[in-house]
Amino acid sequence: MSQSSQAVLFERRGHVAVVTMNRPEGLNAVNHALSQGVGEALAEIDRDPGLRAGIITGTGRAFSAGADLKALAAGESAMPSDPRWGFAGIVHHVVAKPLIAAVNGLAYGGGLEIAISCDLVVASSDAMFALPEVKRGLIAGAGGLVRLAGLIPPKLAMEIALTGAPISALRAGELGLVNLVVEPDRLLDEALDLAGRIAANAPLAVQASKRVLQRIVAGARPEEALGWALTQSEAAALQLSEDFKEGPRAFAEKRDPVWTGR
């Protein structure tokens, strides 16, 4: 696998690949390099017959703080070169093999959306989850609004999306958003143990089971099509508003936004 930068690290552990988002100085915020690196790593997991599962985690105190808003304010793209992969190289990237998110800290905005793009989630006890986009004049456009209500009770999904307030790993576990909450120093070991228990099974049967549970047909999830279309339509309308420009600008200038509702 060719990596264009060190924004993403890739390691094989037997039948399991560990993919590490490696921009700790920016809380693993998603820019083009990170999206490209994750996308390439997932493509390698799919291609390599010796790999049966993948783990995605982060370096430092964050899993991912979401989109790199400073890059967004500067007009830079956070998308990979292959548009079929989607944000962070994962949200539209249908991978045949099971993926486990090992959430090591903050999973905000796109970070939460990366986590729920995976099939299972193991979280450090100090991890936090949030969709804070509404605090920046944005919407959760990378799958949060499409997928969250299918993973937890819809009214709680609405609360998370509309308030932007974070929830703890313990609360996420209670809601069923997380499979397992572990001590920070046990995170990768526990994720590897879960991946190992999956990899010990018949790989074709595992992949077939994933396709049925995720409603994957011909490498796509047709049941999500309406949700994605609505997300794109609403996001396009928001991009024409003054508030859309004000949110990232205020973030970059380290001040509270001034909303006008226009």
Query: Using one digit for the tens of pLDDT, what is the confidence trace for 154-212?
Result: 999 999 999 999 999 999 999 999 999 999 999 999 999 999 999 999 999 999 999 99
- Over residues 220-226, the mean pLDDT reads 95
Residue spans of the domains in the chain: they are: 8-213
Q: Is 224 a catalytic residue?
A: no
Domain 8-213 belongs in CATH node 3.90.226.10 = yes
* Strand pairing report for 167-168 and 53-58: unpaired
Question: What amino acid occupies position 47?
Answer: R
113-135 CB burial, b ≥16 within 10 A, e <16: bbbbbbbbbbbbebbbbbbbbeb
Mean pLDDT in the chain? 94
pTM (two decimals): 0.93
pLDDT of 69 over the 80 cut:
no
Tell me which of 11, 40, 76, 133 is the catalytic residue: 133
Per-residue pLDDT of 82-130, as tens digits, reads 999 999 999 999 999 999 999 999 999 999 999 999 999 999 999 999 9
Catalytic annotation present for 223: no
Q: With beta carbons less than 8 A apart as the criterion, state whether 32 and 111 touch.
A: no
Sheet architecture: strand order including 16-21? 8-13, 16-21, 53-58, 99-103, 120-124, 180-182
Active-site residue, from 113, 183, 190, 224: 113
